[in-house]
Amino acid sequence: MQGQSQQQAYDRGITIFSPDGRLYQVEYAREAVKRGTASVGVRAENGVVLAADKRARSPLMEPESIEKLHKADDHVGVASAGHVADARQLIDFARRQAQVNRLRYGEPVGIETLTKNITDHIQQYTQVGGARPFGVALIVGGIEDGEPRLFETDPSGTPYEWQALSIGSDRSDLRDYLEEEYEEGLSTEEALGLALDTLAQSNDGELAPDGVGVATITVDDDDGYSERSNEEIEAILEERDLLASEEDEEADAEDGDDADEADDEE
């Protein structure tokens, strides 16, 4: 009860420290991330795989318009979870940073450099008054000097590098699954399979082809970032026995109706 009223004191106004040294607005922004559907990133031997849960709230909604996977540059992809509109701001920021780097140094921006540009930008919104923190987490994956790299940004502005990770809803469960199943030296296709297996964990083990997005950024490819078509995804899901039946899919969409009031997290 007391904890309750004390906590309230830190909700108003700008982002300030609580007596135990926490930034509540940042922690609440993390809750906004958890309200979004999951995204998964897996680092393979020669590339990075990003997969995202893109279930639509209605069969009339175009699945492609659910923005969870973004190409930040030829060699960089970003998956997001949380407040969609905030994610767009950070993606735009990342694209501008990547462009500036090409213009200034004549070469693609490093994945670590780009990630830290983003997290430093995020941090400003947690320290200086007059704005709220960003309610979104990002997985930033790409190729740097011929090596795949995979990073995370969170609402506090902290950058971390991972071999494989998930962000968004059911984060803990999906991470447990990844910790058990991940191993080094995966081929890109194996990594892609693991990413989909992981995503399916929070969907009763099944996924609908147009409820999922998959992107790969590979060392060998000329084009770097590429997204898989619905048909390719369907083939893989079938192969891995993850394909949802039509009925399930519709039921999902209808369940989505109840969540309609607060539908700005994905």
Could you say which residues in the range 149-208 bind a second copy, by CB under 8 A?
Answer: 151, 154, 156-165, 171-172, 175, 178-179, 182
- Does the footprint of a second copy cover residue 123 (CB under 8 A)? yes
- Does the footprint of a second copy cover residue 120 (CB under 8 A)? yes
- Does the footprint of a second copy cover residue 9 (CB under 8 A)? yes
Determine the Cα–Cα distance for residues 134 and 111; give it in Å rounded to an integer. 21
Cβ 22 to a second copy shortest distance, Å: 6
Determine the Cα–Cα distance for residues 18 and 264; give it in Å rounded to an integer. 28
Kindly indicate which of the ranges 101-109, 131-139, 191-199, 234-242 contains the residues binding a second copy, using the contact rule CB under 8 A.
Answer: 131-139
- Does the footprint of a second copy cover residue 147 (CB under 8 A)? no
Contacting a second copy (CB under 8 A), which of 125, 168, 211, 237? 125
- Does the footprint of a second copy cover residue 240 (CB under 8 A)? no
Cβ 108 to a second copy shortest distance, Å: 20
- 178/214 with CB nearer a second copy: 178
- 94/237 with CB nearer a second copy: 94
Joined tokens for residue 247: 């009925």
Pairing of β 136-144 and β 225-227: unpaired
Within a 10 A sphere around the Cβ of 3, how many other Cβ atoms?
7
Joined tokens for residue 259: 């969540």
Cα–Cα nearest to 144, from 168, 161, 165, 158: 161
Burial class from Cβ neighbours inside 10 Å (0-12, 13-18, 19+) for residue 60 reads exposed
User: What residues numbered 67-106 form the site for a second copy, per CB under 8 A?
Assistant: 67, 83-86, 88-89, 92
Joined tokens for residue 6: 């004390």
Cβ 222 to a second copy shortest distance, Å: 26
Contacting a second copy (CB under 8 A), which of 11, 222, 231, 247? 11
Q: Can you spell out the DSSP letters for 234-260? A: HHHHHHTT-BPPHHHHHHHHHHHGGGG
DSSP 129: S
Burial class from Cβ neighbours inside 10 Å (0-12, 13-18, 19+) for residue 74 reads middle
- Does the footprint of a second copy cover residue 247 (CB under 8 A)? no
Cβ 185 to a second copy shortest distance, Å: 14
- Does the footprint of a second copy cover residue 66 (CB under 8 A)? yes
- Does the footprint of a second copy cover residue 113 (CB under 8 A)? no
